[in-house]
Copies of this chain bind each other. A is one copy, B any other.
């Protein structure tokens, strides 16, 4: 099964997070990205790899730097405020690197929440923002709750429908704990993220029934290249099992990112155009932050000690697998799949910079 494929010592090479950051920043700078933006982009991508979210990790530097060279991403970029109020801002990403505009957008949301309790930013004219929870997590060090969501190129059918109309439209949500790990949710609103299907295709393995349907409504287990003959299922899969819920959440994301920003809902956008919405909530406006964290610890502890279904090792909380990956990878290096490892090095040479990994 595709979702059980793991990077290991034979299919990947371990590289330190610091070296990866340096390499990625150098590649971005070599294609004319200003140093501060190159550092942001490198930071977000390396963070995804450190957290084990390899589909959104360091290998993306190849495609992103190509998009910069082709002019699809505008670099140097400027994130501009189209309109703002005490708590809100409508931004244009200026068609730049999505990682940079989302990072700068979340900084604005946090600043507004510091001043007024809440902050919300909707970003138009944007591109792929990578691991969406990154931006929600930026709130944590400020003792805030963060939310982040983004649209994506249509690949998901609506409930009862047979055609790709919505992106996988993921939602990120982060809330700080005390002694326990922070709560970090990062979920596509489809049954499965698109990256897992692509991975299965590259590996030549089947996907489980329930992830995708043909336009004739038949379960699809050997997904073809992207085309209009099949679509991902919204979370819930079938009418009986709640497909209207995943579909409804995907529309919510399209509304907060695409319609609220005016940048367009996912079906209106060209491949690679993504709109984003970010929010910060200052916990201290509601209650003492230490009390909040203590109650988070209590909830997380109780969930961890829930009796499991037969055959399961333990109940996890959102963010646990990523925190475990982080603990390993910061110490032992970040495994980079061998094809990607070679690809990043080749890309460095191609753009005329040094190879440091």
Nearest-Cβ distance from residue A220 to partner chain B, whole angstroms = 13
Chain B CB count within 10 A is highest, among A3, A210, A237, A252, for A252
Q: Would A315 and B158 be within 8 Å (CB), given that A217-B309, A251-B185, A260-B287 are in contact? A: yes
Q: Are A160 and B255 in contact (CB under 8 A)?
A: no
Q: Are B175 and A259 in contact (CB under 8 A)?
A: yes
Q: Which of A28-36, A40-48, A300-308 lies at the interface?
A: A300-308
Q: Kindly list chain B residues whose C-beta atoms are within 8 Å of the C-beta of A84.
A: 285
Q: Kindly list chain B residues whose C-beta atoms are within 8 Å of the C-beta of A216.
A: 310
Q: Are A116 and B244 in contact (CB under 8 A)?
A: no
Q: Would A235 and B240 be within 8 Å (CB), given that A162-B306, A299-B259 are in contact? A: no
Binding site for B on A (CB under 8 A): 1, 3, 83-88, 90, 116-120, 122, 145, 157-163, 165, 173, 175, 183, 185, 187-189, 191-192, 208, 210-211, 213, 215-217, 235-237, 240-242, 244-249, 251-252, 254-256, 258-262, 264-265, 267-268, 281-283, 285-287, 291-292, 295-296, 298-299, 302-303, 306-312, 314-318
Query: Can you list 10 A-B pairs with a CB-CB distance of less than 8 A?
Result: A84-B285, A90-B286, A161-B315, A165-B306, A183-B251, A210-B240, A237-B241, A244-B318, A262-B286, A267-B299
Q: Kindly list chain B residues whose C-beta atoms are within 8 Å of the C-beta of A254.
A: 299
Q: Are B299 and A265 in contact (CB under 8 A)?
A: yes
With both beta carbons as reference points, the residue of chain B lying nearest to A313 in the complex is identified as B160
Query: How many angstroms from the CA of A262 to the CA of B288 in the assembled complex?
Result: 9
Q: Are A309 and B191 in contact (CB under 8 A)?
A: no
Q: Kindly list chain B residues whose C-beta atoms are within 8 Å of the C-beta of A215.
A: 307
Q: Are B236 and A303 in contact (CB under 8 A)?
A: no
Q: Are B145 and A260 in contact (CB under 8 A)?
A: yes
Q: Are B240 and A3 in contact (CB under 8 A)?
A: yes
Q: Are B316 and A259 in contact (CB under 8 A)?
A: no
Query: How many angstroms from the CA of A296 to the CA of B265 in the assembled complex?
Result: 9
Q: Are A191 and B160 in contact (CB under 8 A)?
A: no
Q: Would A255 and B183 be within 8 Å (CB), given that A237-B241, A240-B3, A241-B191 are in contact? A: yes
Nearest-Cβ distance from residue A268 to partner chain B, whole angstroms = 8
Inter-chain pairs besides A87-B118, A160-B308, 16 sampled, C-beta below 8 Å: A86-B117, A87-B116, A122-B286, A145-B255, A160-B316, A185-B249, A185-B251, A188-B245, A189-B245, A213-B309, A235-B245, A251-B318, A259-B296, A260-B283, A260-B292, A268-B298
Indicate which residue in B85, B252, B261, B281 contacts A185 across the interface (CB closer than 8 Å): B252
Q: Kindly list chain B residues whose C-beta atoms are within 8 Å of the C-beta of A307.
A: 161-163, 215
Q: Are B87 and A245 in contact (CB under 8 A)?
A: no
Q: Kindly list chain B residues whose C-beta atoms are within 8 Å of the C-beta of A296.
A: 255, 259
Q: Are B255 and A175 in contact (CB under 8 A)?
A: yes
Q: Kindly list chain B residues whose C-beta atoms are within 8 Å of the C-beta of A188.
A: 245
Q: Are B303 and A161 in contact (CB under 8 A)?
A: yes
Indicate which residue in B90, B160, B162, B242 contacts A235 across the interface (CB closer than 8 Å): B242
Q: Would A160 and B252 be within 8 Å (CB), given that A118-B88, A236-B191, A286-B261 are in contact? A: no
Q: Are B210 and A315 in contact (CB under 8 A)?
A: no
Indicate which residue in B161, B262, B265, B281 contacts A309 across the interface (CB closer than 8 Å): B161
